Amino acid sequence: MRKCSKRFLRLFFTMVVAHMPFYAVSHMTVSHAAEPPQAGSSKESAYQELERGGRLYVFASSERKAEFEKSGDIGKGIIKIGYGPDGKTVVFDSEDVIIEYESRQIRELLKKVNIAGYKELKKDGRLYVFTSPARLTDFEKSGELGKAVIKIGYGPHGETVVFDSDEAVKEYNNRHSKPIVTHLGSQDKAEK
């Protein structure tokens, strides 16, 4: 399990580094002729993005965004060349908003990578599906799962499938393009 985790972490960080372009950071006054905004703002906190003139402008302050929309001048900002989507230049209104921007980028990358600990095991004619690395480790040590979701005849060859959680059922269905079945016996929960 440790080898798998270390390999995954190396792979994950390699992917993150490979997708982050080199960038230049500059503290300076940036001004643009006023153009109509092309992108909206986020609903969370005061974080807002605005695309203008082929650049992405990111604001932590709605006041600074409003001033920029009126004048086309961001004042003092931080420029990162090639840092945005499709290699766009990103202009930040403060250092604090850089952290928020990077957090959002990482969350989006993680959604695409789907890092949930997913494992299928065959044992005694049954298929066991795990999304919890801790429950998988306990199962490998003891051979017991404890609380589980059991679906009789649900496997690819009609075998019984034992899931460690409802999330495991959802992930299994996604990976096997399986529709949700609600007939009697397919939604049984059991405790050992």
pLDDT in tens, 70-83: 998 888 889 999 99
Q: How many domains would you assign to the chain?
A: 2
Cα–Cα distance between 155 and 119 in angstroms, integer? 14
Does residue 12 sit within a domain? no
Pair (75, 128) in one structural domain: no
pLDDT tens track for 151-177:
999 999 999 999 999 988 988 998 887
Indicate whether 88 and 37 sit together in one domain. Answer: yes
Q: Of 92, 112, 132, which residue sits at a domain end?
A: 112
pLDDT top residue among 110 and 88: 88
Same domain? For 24 and 104 the reply is yes
Looking at residue 149, its pLDDT comes to 94
Q: Does 29 lie in the same domain as 46?
A: yes
Q: Which two tokens stand for residue 19?
A: 């997708």
Residue 53 within a domain = yes
pTM, two decimal places? 0.41
> Which residues span the domain enclosing 160?
119-190
